[in-house]
Amino acid sequence: MNFSFEVIKECEQTGARAGVLHTPHGDILTPVYMPVGTQATVKALTPEQVKETGAQILLSNTYHLYLRPGHELVKKADGLHTFMHWDKPILTDSGGFQVFSLGELRKLSEKGAEFQSHIDGSRHCLTPEKSVEIQEALGADIIMAFDECTHYPADYEYAKMAMERTHRWAERCKAAHTREDQALFGIVQGSMYPDLRRESAKAIAGMDFTGNAIGGLSVGEPKEMMYEMLEEMDPILPRNKPRYLMGVGTADCLLEGVARGVDMFDCVLQTRIARNGTALHPTGKIVVRNAEYAEDFTPVDDTCDCYCCKNFTRAYIRHLIKANEILAATLLSIHNIRFSVRLMERVRESIIGGTFADLKSDFLGKYKK
């Protein structure tokens, strides 16, 4: 078997679980946060720097790599792992969310999604079969079924229609999938309607994918509503398969997601806010570019073991930001990724040790959402 998932320990008070996902490019200890390398690179960092954060798996983007440099070119380079010099697992999304984000530049039909490139205005059609073809050429370890991500708020009839189309597209993706060394995950949709979420979870679970992803959340709804939808799906999705909550990565959402049975997370927030001069911290975000840190000679986070926090001060990093030096983005990206990776390491240890509920309560009691 190229892929298998085993649950090592479950939390008695919550739905949290610690597991191991076996892949062709190595084992992934869950729960896990995945840094995002949209264009086959984590912005501002080398692959070695990303590895030093403890990251176990990266996410890359089908839509962007299809448009540039093209999946056929990546295939000629012997796949993403060789092309981007990353020898650990890679996950690629289906392109569905990016097409959803194009708004008026795209048109959906049963066939797929017709859209206009944001790069040169050229026209394209991304179908379930095409999405799988692209992802197989890219060669990621884990690939996603093509889905229709609904906006928020969405009326019930539209959410139901999009969910049912997602199910039909999922069947087509499974039929098109040929590579045994790639795991195909289905995606649950249903917007913010509990009955649709339950229906979608049952349908996707019934298709027997290697893993199950949860899409259409963190699209503008209140966090409490997202947690409610996770609770609706938790008893339905198979316990013996990994669960991936797409596009979610703030510290509070990581903890709340784990408590509701989620194993895998990804988010661009860590590197995006780093490029804007902001650092993640156990008490919330620190805007290092602010004047109050001009003479602050302490680390960004004195509890952190990353390269940034072990060697540099808030004052120095603020100086880099004000001087427009790209090293600021590099250092804060290293810290922010390590912050999230380390949090998941602590969460896993607490689940195995039987103290997850205490860790969650203690962390969220200090964290400013």
- Catalogue the active-site residues: 93, 266
Structure tokens at 289: 């570019």
Tell me how crowded residue 39 is: count the other CB atoms within 10 A of its CB: 15
Q: CA Rg, the chain, in Å?
A: 20
The DSSP bridge partners found for residue 5 are: 21
Task: Report which residue type is found at 140.
Answer: A
The kind and range of the H/E element at 353 are: helix 327-353
Number of residues that this document lists for the chain: 369
Q: Cα separation of 147 and 246, whole Å?
A: 12
Q: Using H for helix, E for strand and C for coil, what is the string for 183-220?
A: EEEEEECCCCCHHHHHHHHHHHHHCCCCEEEECCCCCC
Question: Scanning the structure block, which residue is given the tokens 């040169």?
Answer: 120
Structure tokens at 174: 């499974």
What's the farthest any 2 CA atoms get from each other in the chain?
Answer: 60
DSSP for residue 36: B
Q: Cis before residue 35, ω within 30 degrees of 0?
A: no
Structure tokens at 44: 């501002």
Per-residue b/e over 227-261, b at no fewer than 16 CB within 10 Å? Answer: bebbebbbebbbeebbbbbbbbbbbebbbbbbbbb
Q: Which residues make Cβ contacts (< 8 Å) with residue 297, sequence separation at least 6? A: 313, 314, 315
Question: Scanning the structure block, which residue is given the tokens 């095409």?
Answer: 130
**Torsion region of 53: left, alpha or beta (phi above 0 gives left; psi -120 to 50 gives alpha):** alpha
